[in-house]
Structure 1
Amino acid sequence: MKLENKELIVKRPYKEVYKCEDAIVKVFEESHPKSDVFNEALITARIEETGLDIPKVKEVFQVDKKWAIAIEYKDGKTLEEMMESDKKNLEKYMEDFVDLQLEIHKKTSPLLKGMKDKLVRQINSLKELDATNRYELLTRLESMPKHNKVCHGDFNPSNVIVGKNGKMTVVDWAHATQGNASADAAMTYLLFALKDQDTADLYMKLFCQKSDTPRQYVQQWLPIVAGAQLAKDNELEKEFLMKWIDIIDYQ
């Protein structure tokens, strides 16, 4: 695939994302592991096979020795943009957002990697926590119920595209696993709370109502997923996440 008429839409330390005609193209730095690029394409293909209507993988290729993934382009605005520009309808948007997440959780994909294994690796990699705190998090994780639902892993309004007809499409499936839906919800709650606590609380209320899940159960996952998010080593999030990792608050 040739990168013609490309428009840079996202720039991160390890990748650049372009809009190219009918595709979104992620171009990764040369230092980015080749296996991670192919794994992202594979995960996305696995999600396609569940029947969810998501942007499909078109191609994995190289650009100037850099690996790249081309994914089908979906026209529209992000749900995040709509929430910010139309705040009086925030609750309606949030209801649609939660409904969409619950539709995802109805799916299974037996060949997706397990959420628990991924969380164990992330917690074990934490340099900010001593062995005692890592042990506490891993013990808590081991005690939590094991499920096999499809979980996005980074489900937030910036990853939901709303088309002109109102149809919502979920993008960016690189972090998807099979596991416990309430852990996925706990991660979404944290992503909201990083920006605005009131919005996070609205999300939690609606998720628990619509899924008939006790709030306390989702909260039990918060220290665990905060540890997983901390492993991504975002300096701006570190202080906030460390507060959520305090085990005592959720005993």
Structure 2
Amino acid sequence: MAAELIATTATKKVYRDGDKAIKVFNADFPKAEVLNEALITARVEETGGIDVPKVLEVGVFEGKWSITFDFIEGKTLQQLMDENPDKLAEYMEQMVDLHLNILSKHCPLLNKLKDKMSRQILEIDELSDITRYDMRTKLDSMPKHTKLCHGDFNPTNIVVREDGSMCVLDWVHATQGNASADVARTYLLFCLQDQKKADMYMDIFCKKTGTAKKYVQTWLPIVAAAQLSKKRPEEVELLQKWANVCDYQ
């Protein structure tokens, strides 16, 4: 069976080859980052209790670095939300439960979320030196946790099989850190698309966990600043608004 192109992004293409998915990176993509993604995913896989695609091979595909995973058959949760808007609340409940399962795990060999975010904030030209300093000071003062954080937990990274089980993809941004920081990132990712979904997600998470919404919101300016480092033009305006909120109380 010839490999079939199933997805394309700015940095990679994804092919299906039977029961395998091959993520092929652009020729100029750093080798170290490819190897790091494979290592992070393997460590999450070994944590246990989370449905993730297994890393099968790191190699070269048509002259470019690639990672081969198990192919997961199904639809993304985003597709299901779009196709069945009447089931949105049900899907959100399932998504929060899945997130809580991830956040209940520990993966001590992963990088620390605070260290990663601190580096990202330093890289942002759009913010003043004073704002960057305030951000890093606030980040340092936040509670230090070691929970497994996905780093890009959104409906496009969740595949739902026919039997309803859910598999979580794309662990390249995974770290260990504060659960509310990871939830704040998911909230912001929803905000970039649909404020109603963002608010629903936040409300369900806080209700299920007994977490004060205000506490999760204290992470929003820091998470927005870190997200700015990805330099996605379509996100800049909204993220700058969040990142420039200086009153964290």
TM-score by length of 1: 0.97
After superposition, what is the alpha-carbon deviation per residue over 1:8-46, rounded to whole angstroms, capped at 9, x for unaligned? 122122211111111111111121110000000000000
- Cα distance in 1 for partners of 2:2, 2:121 equals 42
Letter matched to residue 12 of structure 1? T
Partner of 1:124: 122
What is the deviation of 1:249? 4.3
Instruction: Determine which of 35, 38, 51 is the counterpart of 1:38.
Output: 35
What is the deviation of 1:64? 3.3
Equivalences for residues 51-70 of structure 1 within 5 A: 51=48, 52-70=50-68
Indicate if the aligned counterparts of 1:115 and 1:177 stay in contact, CA closer than 8 A.
yes
- Cα distance in 2 for partners of 1:101, 1:80 equals 15
Indicate if the aligned counterparts of 2:51 and 2:166 stay in contact, CA closer than 8 A.
no
The farther-off stretch of 7-16 and 34-43 is: 7-16
Q: After the TM superposition, which parts of structure 1 deviate over 6 Å for at least 4 consecutive aligned residues?
A: none
What is the deviation of 1:247? 2.8
- Cα distance in 1 for partners of 2:247, 2:159 equals 36
Partner of 2:111: 113
- Cα distance in 2 for partners of 1:160, 1:249 equals 34
Instruction: Indicate the SS of the match to 1:250.
Output: coil
Partner of 1:27: 24
Partner of 2:14: 17
Aligned residues: 248
The farther-off stretch of 4-13 and 154-163 is: 4-13
What is the deviation of 1:63? 2.1
- Cα distance in 2 for partners of 1:190, 1:35 equals 28
Instruction: Determine which of 88, 91, 96 is the counterpart of 1:90.
Output: 88
Unmatched 5+ residue regions in structure 2?
A: none
- Cα distance in 1 for partners of 2:46, 2:82 equals 33
- Cα distance in 2 for partners of 1:246, 1:207 equals 25
After superposition, what is the alpha-carbon deviation per residue over 1:63-95, rounded to whole angstroms, capped at 9, x for unaligned? 233100001111111111111111111101100
Letter matched to residue 167 of structure 2? T
- Aligned-residue sequence identity (percent) comes to 53
TM-score by length of 2: 0.97
